[in-house]
Structure 1
Amino acid sequence: MKKLLVLSTALTSFGLAAQADITVMSWGGSYETSQVEGYNKPYTAATGKNVTMMAVDNPATPIKAMVEAGNVTVDIADVEYADAIRLCDEGLVETIDPAMLPAGADGTPATEDFLPGAITDCAVASIVFSTVFAYDTTKFPEGPKTMADFFDTAKFPGKRGMRKGAKANLEMALMADGVPAADVYATLETPEGVDRAFAKLDTIKGDVIWWEAGAQPPQLLADGEVAMSTAYNGRIFAAAVTEGKPFQVVWDGQVYEYDVFVIPKGAPNLEEAKEWLKFATSTEQLAAQAAWISYGPARKSSAPLVGLFNDGKTEMGPHMPTSPENMTNALPSSFEFWADRDAELTERFNAWLAQ
């Protein structure tokens, strides 16, 4: 019901949004703030064009619905990589010519400046984000250290927060059960591996509070509803650094991936959408976003420009998913796996949840 309410509220607002020069659908919260500060305000200053943001739990869902209904009121959407591949395969988003993207600050062509796989037929990556778990240090002064600890409610008592879905949870469950990161997807390709993941989830199912929007895990932790929660790393960073919350990220078993921009088929302002996309994914703007949230820029030339958080004192490097010290036992999310298996595993997850 909550998701339907969020979508209904967003869709009701589209009539107003359509009057704007461009409308961008994203995920809300501190992530949206980073996009407004890193992209939109500079874009408006440079062009005089207005940008309206729309927030939903997962932009891929309403984008698919709008395109199939022939009533598209959004120009750009920020979606997860596997969703972008699926939307592209289904012909629901525009193809993007990499030649239109600006070169890096040092003149390197975009196709060489973006990280591997960051440009696809229909999408351009902006950030590397990670699903991690975090805990309240007032509850565990010594703290959990591994993904196995997240699943150990005897050693670390308390409720757990987890995203309501199969993706990342199955991978984390296997890593908690002793499967090395390098073997996770080979294991999940087998019926036995999927069974093993769900069996591990069974061990904490009764202690889980399920979340759907990225802003929820920090709030669940702050309200004391959970002792630890999976979360997007940037949301925990924002709560800890900007709000002073006693939250600590555990990087062991992190699942990292790209978030990407797509242009829905039938976007009302197609040419303006392309101009915004070129601007937002330039070297300077991707680095500018990183001053507002701890997600790594998808361009190589942006990395040297990433310095302090907007508080002027917090070094961003150690808080990035791709920081070398955070990459031990880290798992790159397999977009190929999820593009092929998402529907099947989501159906099984929902059936498991209903049991």
Structure 2
Amino acid sequence: MPDGQFTILIVDDTPENLAVLGELLHPTYRVRAANNGRRALQIAQGHPPPDLILLDVMMPDMDGYAVLNELKAHEKTRSIPVIFVTAMDATEDEEYGLDCGAVDYITKPIRPAIVLARVRSQLELKRARDFLHDQNTYLEAEIVRRMGENQLIQQISIHALARLAETRDPETGNHLRRTQEYVRTLALALQTHPRFASSLDARTIDMLAKSAPLHDIGKVGIPDHILLKPGKLTPDEWEIMKTHAKLGSDAIEQAERDAERPVEFLSIAKEIAHYHHEKWDGSGYPEGLKGDAIPVSARLMALADVFDALICRRVYKPPMPYDQARALIEEGRGSHFDPDVVDAFIRQFDVFCRIADNYSD
């Protein structure tokens, strides 16, 4: 900023002092004047605010210390540098003024060269501070923008991979979006539960929701004659179908190994893909895990996936009414599903129904 664009506010209750400082500074800077503290605060709060204030200390009604205190108390004015200009020339007065927050202390009678040098120095410092602030503001905005871009790319990549699985099983429609929201709903409902509070912080819940669409990514490895079979699978075909859980987790694990550093959502996605067909009583697959040995992410996904499968039309079955699906989920409490997850589902059943309606096929 050129010197002529800087605005300096002079505050003094003596007209002669205002005139002297005004004549000294006016050729180089824009100058405003106030003959009392109240008026000075009004000007400082205005737009644009002054870049520097030359402030007398001894003034009636409101002295310079009180004015400085008020300036420091408000966000809009606290960063304006203040130089005390006063007849109080004792060392302890100067120390006290600087302790109050003034950036410099000039004693009267003023010496023009000293005043101009001190003013120039403070304005140069302000110019540097403003430049750094602008740079920091720009960098912060750029970081936010790039993080947003990265998150968007990540989200698009997740959905692109998940849609790849959907192309093999075209009847799933909005299954990905519904199950994603079911998982988020369950996680939020359990966030303060004693069994889940330590593992369901806000960041983890966000990662869970992002990872959920990858739960069936392993279906890309299942042959069409099994994946798309309209009727009941034979025992041998079912064994092949069940491999989609490990196929999915293996694919995600390979992506983890290819990454230059750990990616949190991939770790959660791998858990969900591998374990979302496990059952609370240990009768699930692929590992036959039981109870709390099943990762929390997979327990949430298990219920979300089953509920959505029940209420959706398939070539081999009609859609099930929401209440009937709820009853079957309740029947699976303590056998197929974690009891506390089922309880959360029951509490949030209306939300599940709204999600199903909003993202219906």
TM-score normalised per structure 1: 0.24
Compare CA radii of gyration and give the structure with the larger one: 2
- Larger strand share, 1 or 2: 1
User: Relative contact order, CA 8 A, sep 6+: which one is greater?
Assistant: 1
- Larger helix share, 1 or 2: 2
TM-score normalised per structure 2: 0.24
